[in-house]
Structure 1
């Protein structure tokens, strides 16, 4: 297991943990430490401080949770690592077929304290949840088939009280297509959704669509060649 820095083109070899299920990297801006968090097996979390620890340290106290499947989004922001998880619903509430609900786990990189953040709404039709930032705050969006062209963005206003604000955006019409033909896979901090065609066909010209929420304008960028 290695961590590679593309800017320096150097890598660091970590102590072997062959049974790791998922791995996340967080940064502590106060002490300047990078920490790697991994789930070794069900409900067994371990952490390692890069360049300081010679072995993985087992974490004893954390809210029970499970990795989002098949995709677990993650984001490191101002000393806190956020990643998507599932956790059990309260007793008697059966909204999800497997009795799990999507949430966001926060991990304070410096103190190594966990906090489970519930999403602002109970979403039972989430497709590829994505964590992002906008104007220095944690945000969340996902691909949900609404049958219209509305984009929904949730902003974490208070990470202690777990308070979210909901923002709706209706983009202008897209010539020759509907927004159901695209998959939003990225949100740029400057205020743009980036969308790609769904499904991708290698024989057709490929282009990305940018939707600017500030200007309420859309644009396209054609990609001349795709390597598959």
Structure 2
């Protein structure tokens, strides 16, 4: 056994938090942002023991869930380094005054693309390299390299409430020859399907494991998945039709949910949360947005609602910029943010347009200092701050 240093003994004896009631220590920690909690973990051994308890993590998560935030990922590239910055700010009272920033230095050769925030954590992937981190604390850990001979991989990140663990699903896409009959002739063409399905559970002995999928499908790249109640949902092509795939994180079973027979829905749309339900948002060449809400996954029951958004020309003071639909908040407010036609161009200052379909009110949020024209930006909504230590 190694000897305890004199400095460690002095820190334990002089720890002022040891003399306070435990309930008061918890109350103090609950009022602090995650960055401060992480620092206190190293400053006080007594507080560290509280911070690492699962009960405190759950208590902090319950409080944060009532105060959702916007999370903005900003990737700044350079010849010698890449700096990943995460900005978060209150959705209820957005302003520069409550802007919180955490920075993380990335491998210059790995431009990670991140999944939506799940219970405060996010997952980034570049090829077979993956990281999971807490953007509220700036702590990130590398996952084992995805074992695959192919580089075309799609991934999804979620939380399993049954076993209280986070999991990552990776699907390797392979192109297979197939046949299609056309006008009496047999035409050779190629099916792009997910072949290898691997799962990793975050923890001490994390390693990739193969899982079986009985439904040959092609996940759509560039579309974000949704994790809700321990189930991952993502859009894919199944039997030549656009479908909604689900993956139960506890049982690790796949399932297919048919989409309504709607021509536009088969061509356009992406997943979002709406009124606590999985929803596909479809918008094509008009200002009308169709919301297809999954009412019952087992019975494949959907409902449809249409929302008309005011012409974005009203906000045309930014040159060559229009506002694209980004998501729906828990309050039902629809969020739009700038999208430029020029590649790798970010408007500065950064804007959000919020539209409430019930009251028909439109609000604008301006964020200064978020990024410049060379930055790559991702925006996530209903982010919950977490004090989880990885």
Q: For the superposition of Structure 1 and Structure 2, which TM-score range results when normalised by the shorter chain?
A: 0.7 to 0.9
Higher relative contact order (CA 8 A, sep 6+): 2
Question: Could you give the per-residue CA deviations for residues 68-119 of structure 1, whole angstroms, max 9, x where no partner exists?
Answer: 13x1220111111111212232xxxxxxxxxxx3222111100111111222
1:176 is matched with 314
Q: Which has the higher strand share?
A: 1
Deviation at 1:151, TM superposition (A): 1.9
User: 1:177 Cα deviation (Å)?
Assistant: 5.5
Is residue 44 of structure 1 aligned with residue 196 of structure 2?
Answer: yes
**Aligned partners of 2:239 and 2:214: how far apart in 1?**
14
Give the SS at the match of 1:152.
strand
Aligned to 2:223: 72
Cα deviations across residues 46-76 of structure 1 (Å, max 9, x unaligned)?
112221654322122331111213x122011
> How many Å separate the matches in 1 of 2:259 and 2:308?
22
Matches of 1:181 and 1:2 in 2, distance apart?
Answer: 32
CA RMSD in angstroms, aligned pairs only? 2.7
Residue 85 of structure 1 is matched in structure 2 by 236
Aligned to 1:4: 133
Q: SS state of the match for residue 176, structure 1?
A: helix
Matched, 1:118 2:250: no
The equivalent of 1:134 in structure 2 is: 274
1:4-23 superposed matches below 5 A: 4-17=133-146, 19=148, 21-23=153-155
Question: What SS does the corresponding residue of 2:246 show, helix, strand or coil?
Answer: strand
Deviations 1:154-209 (CA, angstroms, capped at 9, x unpaired) = 1110010111100012245667369x943112221211111134436767865332
**What SS is found at the alignment partner of 2:141?**
strand
Answer 1 or 2: which has greater helix percent.
Answer: 2
CA contact (8 A) 1:85 1:105 kept: yes
1:104 aligns with 2:244: yes
Q: CA deviation at 1:217?
A: 1.6
Change (3 A) 1:177 1:55: closer
Residue matched to 1:215: 359
Work out which of the residue numbers 212, 222, 229 in structure 2 matches 1:60.
212
Query: Could you tell me how far apart the structure 2 residues matched to 1:15 and 1:9 are?
Result: 20
Equivalent pair of 2:224/2:234 in contact (CA under 8 Å): yes
* 1:64 to 1:220, Cα distance in 2 relative to 1, 3 A: same
Q: Does the 8 A contact of 1:130 with 1:185 survive in 2?
A: no
Q: Tell me, what secondary structure is at the counterpart of 2:163?
A: coil
Gaps of 5+ in 2: 1-129, 175-194, 375-390
Task: Provide the C-alpha distance between the structure 1 equivalents of 2:330 and 2:160, rounded to a whole number of angstroms.
Answer: 21
1:162 aligns with 300
Higher Rg: 2
Contact 1:17 1:40 in 2 (8 A): no
**CA deviation after TM superposition for structure 1 residue 219, in Å:** 2.0
Which one of the candidate residues 172, 183, 196 is aligned to 2:337? Answer: 196
**Aligned pairs, how many?**
211
CA deviation after TM superposition for structure 1 residue 8, in Å: 4.4
